[in-house]
Amino acid sequence: MWNKSGTHMKKIIIGFIAVAALVGCSTLQSIVRSSLPYTATLIVPASTSTGNTHSAVSPASSMDQLFGSNTNAQVKEVRIASAKLSASNPANQNIGAFSSVKLYLSRSDGSGEILVASRTDIGSSVGNNLVLDIDNSRFVDDIIKSNAARIRMEYVLRNKLTTDVSLKASLGFSSVPATAQ
């Protein structure tokens, strides 16, 4: 009788460990998703006119994609948590050359596009980094869980550029673990 209940107890313990590992894995994936932003390099040509709305598009990538990790299946309720633009080339480019920017996230084919961040009141001397105002009113699960995403920047130039400008867009996300129901 002792052997029989000991086997039963082992099954319970193994089951408990398996459930804890699954929940722990989902929690870890949620943390990874939150700490590995999607980034894209957006090019604004020097020939761009001022005062008009233009667009730049680039594929978005995340470090977990580069390492072949599929963390996206383990998360849900993904929302934008932060958005930042940084001048990458030239590194000292003043983002104040732009009067407004909007960042959209979509699947790689442009479908499902959602406005995720914007700034319409960019100061003329803001410097080479700009934190954007986020719009986290919608979940972006479908886009993040697709095989590839892209970022489109809609912008208006205040000042004429003297050279092509590369801007790095960085989008951070928040999510919750997707546990089995």
What is the SS3 assignment for 97? helix
pLDDT of residue 36: 65
Give 10-residue mean pLDDT values along the chain (181 residues): 55 56 45 64 97 96 53 75 95 96 95 96 95 94 85 97 96 80 51
pLDDT of residue 24: 47
pLDDT of residue 73: 61
What is the set of domains in the chain, with CATH numbers?
2-177 (2.60.120)
pTM of the model: 0.77
pLDDT of residue 92: 92
Name 111's Cβ contacts closer than 8 Å, sequence gap at least 6: none
pLDDT of residue 68: 44
CB 178 within 8 A of CB 26: yes
CB 37 within 8 A of CB 134: no
What is the SS3 assignment for 61? strand
User: Distance (Å, rounded) from C-alpha 160 to C-alpha 134?
Assistant: 27
User: Distance (Å, rounded) from C-alpha 128 to C-alpha 141?
Assistant: 31
